[in-house]
């Protein structure tokens, strides 16, 4: 359900000015009203203290009332901040209800317009990617058939590799869209983490010397779509192998049993990712290396697909640089399955 924010009408600055004026007048009236009693020598000393304490008490009450009113006026600021944080997380359905014509109302109206335009732009981009991906399948299939008729050569193998990469790209795009639009495609079941890791590593027989799995309990399990989580693990491990120089050490895979979650951690020893680029690594087609060469990596969809798979599982993927500056740490956080 969408959170809603209501703003009261009138200028916020005028309201705050009125509160401060009322506060000042209240204090002045009380000071004039009690000054004669407090300063009079004919009044008993105990009454002096009583009236002084009463004056202090009334001033405190006035300040509390004024602070409460000001806080009420500024509540929309906090709520609007919460809405901006939701947008930052990708929740573009966040809306605010605008009432009145004050500064916050105009700000909320601009916020609604911004999110609507942003959502429309993203949807248009995604639809374009889907349309292009579907249309490319037919010419790619024809190209594969034509290449099979060519004699074996270095050029033929190069073209076959290019087509294979294009097919992988199209598959990732369509799979991401499928996960976004249909959560029922997932086949959830209880999976033991040790078995999940072992199955994933079976496809890395040639690189097994580069990988190290720290001790994992054979009782830990998570409720996931096993095939899709294996895709996540494979993508991350492939990236770790690709960006970790030979001879620097083994890529470590660890599992941490937390109170309410289980974390699978992959730690490599590469060059790391510039801090200013870390927030964008899960964006589609974003690559840390702008050269776009085959040697430097893929086409920027692997991590985006990983994030989408984790999201539909209600899980989380995070990436951070190691404090030593040599390599990154990727964490996959899953809810724990009891029993």
Residue 328 · residue 321 · CB < 8 Å: yes
Contact criterion met (CB below 8 Å) for 255 and 262: yes
DSSP 191: E
Domains of the chain: 12-115 (no CATH), 125-183 (1.10.287), 186-335 (3.30.565.10)
pLDDT value of position 292: 47
Please state the pTM of the whole predicted model.
0.61
Burial pattern 26-35, b for ≥16 Cβ within 10 A else e, equals beeebeeeee
8 A C-beta contact, residue 103 and residue 13: yes
Region of 139 on the Ramachandran plot (φ > 0 left; ψ -120 to 50 alpha; else beta) = alpha
Q: Can you tell me which residue has the tokens 């490319």? A: 136
Give the model confidence (pLDDT) of 279-337 as tens digits.
888 887 777 765 444 544 556 678 888 988 898 888 999 999 988 778 899 999 998 87
Whether 198 shows a pLDDT value over 50: the answer reads yes
Q: How far apart are CA 130 and CA 121, in angstroms?
A: 14
Q: Is the dihedral of CA 40, 42, 46, 50 positive or negative?
A: negative
- The most distant pair of C-alpha atoms in the chain lies apart, rounded to whole Å, by 119
User: What percent of the chain clears pLDDT 70, i.e. is strictly above it?
Assistant: 75
SS3 content of the chain, % helix, strand, coil (to 5): 60, 10, 30
Task: Please report the pLDDT score of residue 7 as a whole number.
Answer: 40
Q: How far is CA 85 from CA 78, 82, 90, 150, 286, in A?
A: 11, 5, 9, 55, 22
Distances from the Cα of 56 to the Cα of 31, 68, 274, angstroms: 10, 18, 57
Q: Residue 18: is its pLDDT beyond 90? A: no
Phi, psi of 288 (to 5 degrees): -65, -40
What residues are paired with 319 via a beta bridge? 330
Least reliable range by pLDDT among 87-96, 207-216, 263-272: 87-96
pLDDT tens, residue by residue, 162-181 = 888 788 778 777 777 777 66
Alpha helices in 202-319 (DSSP H): 226-243, 302-312
The encoded tokens of residue 39 equal 């300063």
Q: Please state the φ and ψ torsions of residue 73, each to the nearest 5 degrees.
A: -65, -35
pLDDT value for 237: 92
Structure tokens at 61: 């009450």
Residue 214 has pLDDT above 80, yes or no: yes
Question: What is the mean pLDDT of the segment spanning 240-247?
Answer: 80
Strand partners, 223: 190
């Amino acid at each position: 359900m969408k959170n809603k924010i209501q703003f009261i009408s009138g200028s916020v600055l005028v309201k705050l000015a009125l509160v401060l004026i009322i506060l000042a007048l209240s204090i002045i009236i009380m000071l004039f009203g009690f000054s004669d009693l407090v300063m009079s020598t004919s009044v008993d000393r105990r009454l002096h203290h009583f009236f002084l304490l009463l004056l202090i008490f009334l001033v405190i009450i006035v300040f509390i009332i004024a602070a409460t009113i000001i806080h009420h006026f500024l509540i929309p600021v906090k709520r609007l901040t919460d809405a901006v944080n939701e947008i930052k997380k990708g929740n573009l359905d966040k809306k605010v209800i605008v009432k009145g014509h004050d500064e916050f109302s105009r700000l909320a109206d601009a916020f609604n317009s911004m999110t609507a335009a942003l959502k429309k732009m993203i949807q248009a981009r995604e639809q374009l990617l889907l349309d292009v991906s579907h249309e490319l399948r037919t010419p790619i299939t024809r190209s594969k058939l034509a290449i099979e008729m060519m004699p074996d050569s270095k050029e033929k193998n190069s073209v076959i590799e290019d087509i294979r990469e294009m097919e992988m790209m199209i598959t990732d795009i369509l799979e991401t869209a499928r996960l976004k639009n249909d959560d029922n495609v997932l086949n959830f079941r209880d999976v033991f983490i040790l078995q999940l890791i072992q199955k994933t590593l079976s496809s890395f027989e040639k690189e097994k010397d580069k990988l190290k799995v720290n001790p994992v309990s054979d009782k830990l399990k998570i409720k996931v779509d096993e095939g899709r989580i294996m895709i996540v693990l494979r993508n991350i491990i492939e990236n770790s192998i690709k960006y970790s120089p030979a001879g620097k050490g083994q890529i470590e895979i660890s599992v941490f049993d937390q109170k309410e979650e289980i974390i699978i951690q992959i730690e490599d020893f590469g060059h790391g990712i510039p801090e200013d680029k870390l927030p964008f690594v899960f964006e589609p087609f974003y690559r840390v290396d702008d050269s776009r060469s085959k040697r430097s990596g893929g086409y920027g969809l692997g991590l985006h697909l990983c994030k989408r798979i984790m999201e539909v599982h209600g899980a989380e993927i995070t990436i951070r640089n190691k404090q030593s500056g040599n390599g990154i740490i990727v964490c996959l956080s899953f809810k724990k399955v009891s029993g």
